Amino acid sequence: MAETVATATEPISTLRHRHLLGLATYSAEEIQLILQTAREFRQVLERPIKRVPTLRGVTVVNLFFEPSTRTRISFELAEKRLSADTVNFSASGSSVSKGETLKDTAQNIEAMKVDMAVIRHKSPGAPHFLTRCVDAVVVNAGDGAHEHPTQALLDLFTISEHFDTFEGLNISILGDITHSRVARSNIFGLRALGAHVTLCGPKTLMPVGVEHLGVRVTHRLDEALEGCDVAMALRIQLERQGTSLFPSLREYHNQFGITLDHLARHPDLLIMHPGPVNRGVELASEVVDHERAVILHQVTNGVAVRMAVLYLLAELPGAGTE
Ligand code: CP
């Protein structure tokens, strides 16, 4: 296992995009630039003093209209590690509960001189809408079932710690594909970097025609795990399902859950999960705690990846990691 990723892409030094709304439009070169920058920030996070002055004077607001543990804390830590001024907004306890719109909320916050806005929202397209309401740079922290680009970037970063290249790598994404913004962003990122992606889950949780994204689809877990390098299990999102789309969680686990038996049959298989995990559903509880499950490494890497995204989008002249 190697630490760096060899790619056929030409290195670039700046992003073409002003915002990070999704990975659908990000090129392989841009994704590699973010991963390479994150590697430098990952080293900063190993130092006794995990802080650099890179974003001193920059104000970032974290607009969270939906619950979050990992993404919210990770962005906040990334901003603090970069010495940015950070402001946290939660829909609950704000004037949203009095009927204030996203546009008015964002414009009022921007009137207090905010440079960057990180947004999580239940509505797909909310970050795109925000770019039309404010001048601040916008980063999507998850919009409905659309995209979760920084989750996919931290997933890619974690994979890159274990494999020399994405070219030809076999990644299986398992579970609730229909409701998963993580799956969509990972499909775009992994395909851009040359990985083979297999989607596996119940027919009721698989979008019709998803093959047009360049992925293979199977409804059999054994088939998805054959020759697979990384299995990325997704959370069953009971809160986004209008009706129950499979008979029971127990049945789901029996058909699509990864167990110690699967790990024994696939001795090199790496297990990932974006969290939060439903223990005993997507993954057997022993698998969550297994050394080949890199779930907490994903969380650790998330801070470095978000530092990289904020740094590259802030476009500060002369900024670095010293
Ligand atoms: N993976 C992820 O987005 O987790 P949170 O919902 O806790 O942010």
pLDDT in tens, 1-30: 333 344 457 788 999 999 999 999 999 999
How far, in whole angstroms, is CA 228 from its chain's centroid?
Answer: 21
Ligand 1 atom closest to Cα of residue 72: 8
For ligand 1, atom 3, the nearest C-alpha belongs to 71
pLDDT of residue 320: 46
Pocket test for ligand 1, best of 88, 151, 300 (most atoms within 8 A of CB): 151
Partners of 258 in beta bridges:
283
Which pLDDT does position 245 carry in this prediction?
76
Q: Which residues line ligand 1 (CB under 6 A)?
A: 68-72, 142, 148, 151, 274-276
Using the atom order of ligand 1, give the atom closest to the CA of residue 71: 8
pLDDT on residue 109: 87
Q: What rounded mean pLDDT belongs to the chain?
A: 92
pLDDT of residue 244: 74
Split at pLDDT 50, 70, 90, the class of 241 is low
Q: Which residue's CA is the closest to the ligand 1 atom numbered 4? A: 70
The residue whose CB lies within 8 Å of the most ligand 1 atoms, and thus the one to mutate among 62, 65, 66, 68, is 68
Is the Cβ–Cβ distance between 303 and 74 less than 8 Å? yes
d(CA 224, CA 244): 24
Tell me, what's the pLDDT at 2? 36
Beta bridge pairs of residue 228: none
Q: Is the pLDDT confidence value at 242 over 90? A: no
Closest by CA position to 149, among listed 57, 34, 267, 242: 34
Give the model's pLDDT for residue 322: 42
Question: For a pocket test of ligand 1, which of 70, 75, 119, 186 has the largest count of ligand atoms closer than 8 A to its C-beta?
Answer: 70
CA distance 232 to 224: 11
Per-residue pLDDT, 317:
57
Least confident of 61-75, 96-110, 241-255: 241-255
